[in-house]
Amino acid sequence: MPFLHCSSVESKTQRPDNNTLLPPDDDGDDDGDDDRIVKSKFEIKIAASSATRRQLSTKAQQKRSSTTFRHRDNHRQHQHATPTSHPILRLFLQSLQHTLLKPRSLPLPRYISPQHYSFTLSEVFGHSSFILVAASYATQDFLELRVMAVLGSTSMLFFTYFHPHGRVLWLPLKWNLLFIAINSYRVGKVLFDRFMADGLCEDLKEFREEHLNVVDVVDWYKLVRISEEEVFEEGDLVLQQGRANHFIRIVLEGELEVLRDGTLTYVVEKGNFVSESGLHAGLMLTGSIESCGTIVCGPPFDPTDSQNNNNNNNNATTQNHHRRDNRVRCLRWNRDKLMELLENDKGLRNALQAALSWDIVRKLKMQRKMLSEGRVKNPTVWTKKREDQGISRYASILQNIMLRHPEEFGDMSEVLTKYRRIHHVGDEDHERALAKCGWTEEEFRVGKRHDVEDDEDIEDEEFESARWRRVKRYSSKVVRSLLQ
């Protein structure tokens, strides 16, 4: 037995294991190098094992954190999506979710496609939203555009709440709720305006169809809403020459006579505007404008009266007895309120400018009618008074711009040029109008008077007031554009 024991020990000594570390040998340098190589391999193995443990611990920590956040998000989503305080609502949402997220197959014939396509109703709502948005680009009606916007946002609302991935997309859902609220307000406002427009009296509806067919019914209601009705009897004075005028009028019934220095220049009939002062050309003037003529409610003109008076005075007395009185009805707008409405409603402004352009054509035809009917006694004097009246009207417009809109003079220069082309205001007439206002050509080009040029305090006050007026006007436009 001892012999066997020694032999086993000897065998172990002769055939050492690869992992066994032997003591260093003093025989040579080769044995020392082998020992250093073994040590380095051992250290590399230890470092690799520690790095592996660190990676495993990092992955486990990330998995735990992601699981925690997912559970927290699911809990929060469950709280918002299915409120526990309303079991009926929770049951309804669950049934709706099951209906919208249930996979459905699209039955396509095999000769079209051998594959089976599946979809959910939630995805149908998502596609419908984009289809409605694309269709809204092709419509021109304001109400149809808003209705499509509401339907598209509502479809997207269902898609974001019952998303196919199972999570509620709160960010687009809240934005779509805001869009639905804004567009629903606009749809309700349009329907309310149409309802109120249908409530107008029949004579105003017939008047619009006959004389202002380029103006929409709702726009006509907006104009009537801020207007006041006036009634003049025969012999009443409507406006005095040289007086400040704050109003724009339109004749609903009867006719008015316009006089320049006591000479009849033209007649305003039913459907004609009075004192528009360049609004047809785009001049948005506020405040008062000096009247270039006297407007009176004269007797109705009958071309047979003079012939009957020459033939028989008794017959003339009988005709005067049966003659109807001239009763004039007008709608009157305050210029400031009207310009504010037109500034905020571009569509109404364009329609009203078109109506005013047709009104100028009608007035020109009326002047020819006056000549043919014999209402003009002296054509030479009549032509001279009309020219003076046109220059006085242009001077009143310049005076209003220089005094009330000096900060907008540069923007209105193009509109003034357009007005001069329409009414054939030449350079000589322009200089005469400037002289009537007390301005020179140089002051007109600069845009301010020389007598106030050296007063720095007045300039600072005018600059501050003009700047704040522009800020208030811009801010009001932004707010109204958000609500319109």
Instruction: Let me know if 64 is exposed, middle or buried by CB neighbors in 10 A (0-12, 13-18, 19+).
Output: exposed
CB distance 300 to 322 below 8 Å: no
Task: For residue range 328-353, list pLDDT tens digits in order.
Answer: 999 999 999 999 999 999 989 999 99
Sheet harboring 294-296: ordered strands across? 237-239, 294-296, 256-260, 263-268
What are the C-alpha distances in Å from 445 to residues 26, 433, 460?
112, 14, 21
Residue 416 tokens, joined: 């003034």
Give residue 96's pLDDT.
83
Sign of CA dihedral 132, 134, 139, 140: positive
Say yes or no to pLDDT of 453 above 60: no
Confidence of residue 59 (pLDDT cuts 50, 70, 90): low
State which of 74-83, 116-125, 199-208 shows the largest mean pLDDT.
199-208
Say yes or no to pLDDT of 357 above 80: yes
DSSP output for 259-270: EETTEEEEEE-T
State which of 58-72, 187-201, 303-317, 412-426 shows the largest mean pLDDT.
187-201
Give the whole-angstrom CA distance, residue 305 versus residue 315: 10
The model carries a pTM of 0.66
Give residue 114's pLDDT.
75
Task: For residue range 139-184, list pLDDT tens digits in order.
Answer: 888 889 999 999 999 999 999 998 888 888 999 999 999 999 999 9
Confidence of residue 48 (pLDDT cuts 50, 70, 90): low
Confidence of residue 185 (pLDDT cuts 50, 70, 90): very high
Give residue 233's pLDDT.
92
Give residue 267's pLDDT.
92
Give residue 455's pLDDT.
45
Give the whole-angstrom CA distance, residue 180 versus residue 192: 18
Per-residue pLDDT, averaged over 392-415, amounts to 79
Give residue 62's pLDDT.
61
Task: For residue range 216-250, list pLDDT tens digits in order.
Answer: 999 999 999 999 999 999 989 999 999 999 999 99
Per-residue pLDDT, averaged over 101-130, amounts to 84
- Residue 433 CA to its chain's centroid (Å): 38
Confidence of residue 68 (pLDDT cuts 50, 70, 90): very low
Say yes or no to pLDDT of 81 above 50: no
Q: Is 24 or 110 the better-scoring residue by pLDDT?
A: 110
Q: Is 462 or 218 the better-scoring residue by pLDDT?
A: 218
State which of 94-98, 157-161, 469-473 shows the largest mean pLDDT.
157-161
Give the whole-angstrom CA distance, residue 130 versus residue 320: 73
Angle (CA) 387-392-397 rounded to 5° is 130
User: At CB < 8 A and 24+ separation, what contacts does 199-208 make?
Assistant: 200/224, 203/252, 204/252, 207/252, 207/271
Range of weakest confidence among 218-227, 420-429, 468-477: 468-477
Give the SS3 label for residue 375.
coil
Give residues with Cβ within 8 angstroms of 317, minimum separation 6. none
Nearest partner of 153 among 137, 175, 171, judged by Cα: 175
Q: Is 382 or 35 the better-scoring residue by pLDDT?
A: 382
Residue 19 tokens, joined: 């992992």
Q: Is 378 or 460 the better-scoring residue by pLDDT?
A: 378
Q: What percent of the chain has pLDDT over 70?
A: 69
Q: Is 434 or 308 the better-scoring residue by pLDDT?
A: 434
Confidence of residue 138 (pLDDT cuts 50, 70, 90): confident
What are the C-alpha distances in Å from 466 to residues 4, 460, 463?
119, 10, 5
Give residue 473's pLDDT.
61
Confidence of residue 65 (pLDDT cuts 50, 70, 90): low
Instruction: Let me know if 200 is exposed, middle or buried by CB neighbors in 10 A (0-12, 13-18, 19+).
Output: middle
Sheet harboring 328-334: ordered strands across? 227-232, 328-334, 247-253, 273-274
Q: Output the average pLDDT for the chain.
A: 78
Task: For residue range 2-12, list pLDDT tens digits in order.
Answer: 443 434 434 44
Say yes or no to pLDDT of 15 above 90: no
Q: Is 78 or 430 the better-scoring residue by pLDDT?
A: 430
Q: Is 75 or 439 the better-scoring residue by pLDDT?
A: 439
Give residue 400's pLDDT.
84
CB distance 270 to 252 below 8 Å: yes
Say yes or no to pLDDT of 285 above 60: yes
Confidence of residue 39 (pLDDT cuts 50, 70, 90): low
Give the whole-angstrom CA distance, residue 436 versus residue 292: 12
H or E element that contains 168:
none
Range of weakest confidence among 151-155, 246-250, 256-260, 282-286: 282-286
